[in-house]
Amino acid sequence: MSFTEEKAIRVTFFHHACHSSTRGPGAARGQQGGEFKDADISELTEMLARVPEFRGERGRQYALAFILAVCVVATLAGARNYREIATVAEGICQCQLRVLGAEWDYFGNRYRCPRRTTIWYALTGIDAAELDNVTGTWLLAQARKRRAGDGGSEWVIAVDGKVLKGAWTDENDRVTLFSAMLHEEALTVAQARVPDGTNETTQVKALAEKIGIQDGETVLVTLDAAHCTRKTAKAIGGKEGWDYLVTVKTDKGALYRQASERIRPLLGQEPGDVMTDRSRGVIKKWSCWVAGTEGMQFPHVAQVACICREVSSLTGEKISKETAIRLTSAAAGAMSAADINRHTREHWGIENKSHYIRDTVFREDHNQSWSGSGPHALASLRNLATGLLRMKNTASVKEATELIHMDRMLALRYMTTSSNYRHTA
């Protein structure tokens, strides 16, 4: 057979496979998302190619970047574990495999896709920490591109830990991941696994070093009360261009008393800022007072704030009231009462926009993967998939994953970084 005849047969088979609706799950593949078969996902695949290869050359059938690209498609389709990733992968059509970077199998006369054992071996053996670094740096770079010309040199980042309740380590301890998320874009730009026998408070400095901040950019890190320690304040407040905003509670007796003494005289006055929100049958009101910190013995502290959160019914009946004391290293000229009020409220976006999505859409707490780097790698893929959806201004992550599950080709819409494919779901 001549090369021309072989090429003709290959092209004919390729087009037939792309339009077939009988191969694997998902009968409607390509009918809705077929217009994306030529989408440019080169930026994403080039990023995945930077993840270090750990396998030997002997017997290697698929490039690691291709396996990861397939896993990204499956995760975008809502796959929650190795089996579901393999099931979704089986339903990926030939034209999509080509876009993902599959190599042509001349013996099988088709593009091949990795099976469950190959996917399991790749994700359990991969350097998950480096996968986090590569994907987090890439997501931050995408956010930086989107902000170009809009004063995008100021970042507000929430950090918090998440326990993977279903994943246990060899030391009979649960896997804990510590992550950093951009407030505005809701992109996870850094993540680190907390070493067994320690907790997330020991990893603040290490996580901060993983965030790819460039010279000239400024960062505000928001933290909960667990991170109100001198070590954390030195690590964040001592970095040039970095500031912290952290809650202090009564367990820090002396520090809490010092902060209370400075804020108490202001509570009878009008607050520096008031925020209100009416939703779900109640009215929420946040009032913020800010005072100086002269004489306070805490690293780099510049302002102390008190935030009073009141919840009342639509008729004005009071339901609840609580207060929080916040410390920040940002000077008054750099952060106002309104800024403190807003950043405090938005800090919990890491729970609502990241941890909650991973638990409800991907059922992360129910996942009992434990071997090697598996739990960490799966979490990294979820962060990347959620980030890809967020970058396209997706209103409902759950709905988007359901649509992609029905038509795998739609995943390419979210994997491309071209503005031509931006879409709001």
Residues 204, 337 within the same domain? yes
Residues 289, 384 within the same domain? no
368 belongs to a structural domain? no
Q: What is the pLDDT along the chain (425 residues), one digit of tens a residue?
A: 443 444 443 444 444 445 443 333 333 444 455 667 678 999 999 999 999 999 998 889 999 999 999 999 999 999 999 999 999 999 999 999 999 999 999 988 999 999 999 999 999 999 999 999 999 999 999 999 988 866 557 999 999 999 998 887 766 578 999 999 999 999 999 999 999 888 999 999 999 999 999 988 999 999 999 999 999 999 999 999 999 999 999 999 999 999 999 999 999 899 999 999 998 889 999 999 999 999 999 999 999 999 999 999 998 899 999 999 999 999 999 999 999 999 999 999 999 999 999 999 999 998 888 889 999 999 999 999 999 999 999 989 999 999 999 999 999 999 998 653 343 33
- Let me know: does 48 contact 29? Beta carbons within 8 Å: no
Ramachandran sector of residue 171 (left: φ over 0; alpha: ψ -120 to 50; beta: rest): alpha
103 belongs to a structural domain? yes
364 belongs to a structural domain? no
Structure tokens at 55: 């396998």
Residues 62, 89 within the same domain? yes
Question: Closest Cα to residue 408, out of 18, 3, 7?
Answer: 18
Residues 387, 300 within the same domain? no
367 belongs to a structural domain? no
363 belongs to a structural domain? no
As a whole number of angstroms, the distance between CA 84 and CA 111 comes to: 20
In the chain, the number of structural domains is 2
Q: Got the DSSP string for 56-120?
A: -STT--S-HHHHHHHHHHHHHTT--SHHHHHHHHHT--HHHHHHHTPPEETTTTEE----HHHHH
Residues 206, 262 within the same domain? yes
Please give the pLDDT value at position 87.
Answer: 96
CATH number of the domain encompassing residue 235: 3.90.350
* H-run or E-run covering 278: strand 273-279
As a whole number of angstroms, the distance between CA 320 and CA 388 comes to: 38
How deeply is 20 buried, as exposed, middle or buried, from its count of CB atoms within 10 A (0-12, 13-18, 19+)? middle
**Cα dihedral: 40, 46, 51, 55 (round 10):** 90
Residues 109, 140 within the same domain? no
Please give the pLDDT value at position 150.
Answer: 62
362 belongs to a structural domain? no
Structure tokens at 105: 């199998």
Domain of 185, in residue numbers: 128-356
Residues in the chain: 425
Residues 132, 212 within the same domain? yes
- Let me know: does 318 contact 127? Beta carbons within 8 Å: no
As a whole number of angstroms, the distance between CA 337 and CA 329 comes to: 14
- Let me know: does 389 contact 419? Beta carbons within 8 Å: no
Residues 153, 299 within the same domain? yes
Residues 207, 265 within the same domain? yes
149 belongs to a structural domain? yes
Residues 19, 34 within the same domain? yes
Please give the pLDDT value at position 165.
Answer: 86
Please give the pLDDT value at position 410.
Answer: 94
Structure tokens at 277: 């929100």
345 belongs to a structural domain? yes
Residues 157, 271 within the same domain? yes
Structure tokens at 121: 């071996």
Residues 330, 392 within the same domain? no
Structure tokens at 185: 């874009």
Structure tokens at 166: 């279903």
